Amino acid sequence: MSAVLPATWLRGTPVCFLRGTLKRVIAIYPGSFDPLTNGHLDLIQRGAKIFDELVVAILRNSEKNALFTVDERLEMLRAGTGQWSNVRVESFEGLLVDYARIRGASAVLRGIRVVSDYEYELQMAWMNRKLDPTLETIFMMPAGAYSYLSSRIVREIASLGGSLAGLVPASVDVQLRARLGVAPPLAPK
C-alpha cells in the first residue's frame, strides 16, 4: 500500500491505518448469572462478535443471597460458552473498574431490557466513568425473544414447576430444578 501512495500522504498517517488495527479490545460482561439464561448467552454470543476478547465475570458478592455458588455459576457459564474461543469466564471481587484495569479491558458490556434497567445501568456507567474515564460502557439490547427474561423470573417459574423451555440451557434447567427440589413440568397431552 505505501509503495503507491505519495510520500506527502504518508507523513502523519497513523501506522495502524496502514497496517490495520493493532489494538485488541477486551470487554467485560459482569453479572451474577444466578442462573445463566438464554438472554445472557445471546449477549455473550453477540459480544464475542464485536470484541477481540470478552470476559464474562461473576461478581463475588457476600451480601447477595445467591441460589448457586460462584463455582457452580462458573461451571454453568463455561459449559454454556465453550463454543466461543474468545470468551473467558472468571469471577472477581471489589470494584469493576479495578478488575477491568487488571484485565486490560477498555469496555464493559451491559444488557438493557427495559427503561428501569437503563436508569440503573446509566448510573453505574457514570460512576465507572468517574472512577476510570478510560473505561467505556457499551449497552446492548437483547434479542426480542429475551427482552422479558431475567434470572429472577427464571427462578420463580422453576420454583412453581413451570416450563423453562427456551429460557435456559437444558443443563441449567436440570441443575435449577434439582436445587429447588422441583420436578420438571409434565409434557402436554
23 as an active site residue: the answer is no
From the candidates 73, 106, 110, 151, give the one annotated as an active-site residue.
Answer: 151
H-state helical runs in 2-136: 7-10, 15-19, 38-50, 70-81, 96-103, 115-131
Mean pLDDT to the nearest integer, 139-161 = 93
C-alpha cell at 104: 486490560
Confidence bin at 2 (pLDDT 50/70/90): very low
131 located within any domain: yes
**CATH number for position 42:** 3.40.50.620
| Structural domain span for residue 134 | 24-147
Mean pLDDT to the nearest integer, 114-131 = 91
Q: What is the pLDDT of residue 143?
A: 92
100 located within any domain: yes
171 located within any domain: no
Query: How many structural domains does the chain have?
Result: 1
- Residue 36 exposed, middle or buried by CB count within 10 Å (0-12, 13-18, 19+): buried
Q: What is the pLDDT of residue 1?
A: 44
Mean pLDDT to the nearest integer, 29-49 = 97
189 as an active site residue: the answer is no
pTM: 0.84
167 located within any domain: no
